[in-house]
Copies of this chain bind each other. A is one copy, B any other.
């Protein structure tokens, strides 16, 4: 028995991973599983059943917090990680268990707040139930994008100006708990992420381009993502994956810039390969250059 187990630091205990939609959840779970035993709590309707098969997992409904906590306790988990997207579900479509029903007035209030309010409310509920909410990047630091270019392409001087402008814009709207992303081309702001999310914002840009409504040529412009000031880093980090690359290419942009060390990247090798093939750059901008 080593000293870590003795001290009860939890390193030898299994960790519960609540997994939503997208490829990021499974990628992060694989990362964590390299050093820890994991119990994946797969969110029904969101997590990918095929991907879940590789993990020891249990299916949980979105409104089943009681079930979720019981399962985690039964398997000796004291730490919980949330990862993967759960787009705000229709409140009326959720089947609640008893424990969740008791929290409903609070959850309704959380729903009325922005994403920051919703996620930090959820984090608080998890902790009140005796768990420690852990940031995925704290148990698997390799999922954070480093500074510099990820694939072969580098942003041009022009791209760097667009990146700087987008970062300034995101900082200016930070206090409004609005999206984490913006598209800027040749100093024109083409889109700002709000309730739509990154993927949909990029399809809007692609649609505008196809309609001839964007005057800058294909291959000019950047997607920039940055954390919001009030964001709970344990449950709501900006993230990119292979699908982001596809959507950026379809929107006719030159590349993607994110804040190094503050953005989760699922499957970096696949992202780099996809970026090289699509001819777009992916760059981690040092956090110091942002604020």
Contacts and interface: CB of A to CB of B under 8 A. Distances in A.
Interface of A: 87-91, 93, 111-114, 165, 168-169, 172-173, 175-178, 183, 186-192, 194-196, 200, 204-205, 208, 212-216
10 pairs of A and B residues whose beta carbons are closest in the complex: A90-B212, A178-B189, A192-B192, A190-B195, A111-B215, A191-B194, A172-B172, A114-B188, A169-B176, A189-B194
A188 to B, nearest CB: 5
Contacts of A208: 195-196
Contacts of A173: 169, 172-173, 192
Residue of A190, A192, A200, A208 contacting most chain B CB atoms (<10 Å) = A192
16 contacts: A88-B213, A89-B212, A90-B212, A111-B215, A112-B187, A112-B188, A113-B187, A113-B188, A172-B172, A173-B173, A173-B192, A177-B188, A183-B194, A189-B195, A191-B194, A191-B196
Nearest to A169: B176
Contact of A187 (B114, B187, B204, B205): B114
B187 A194 contact: no
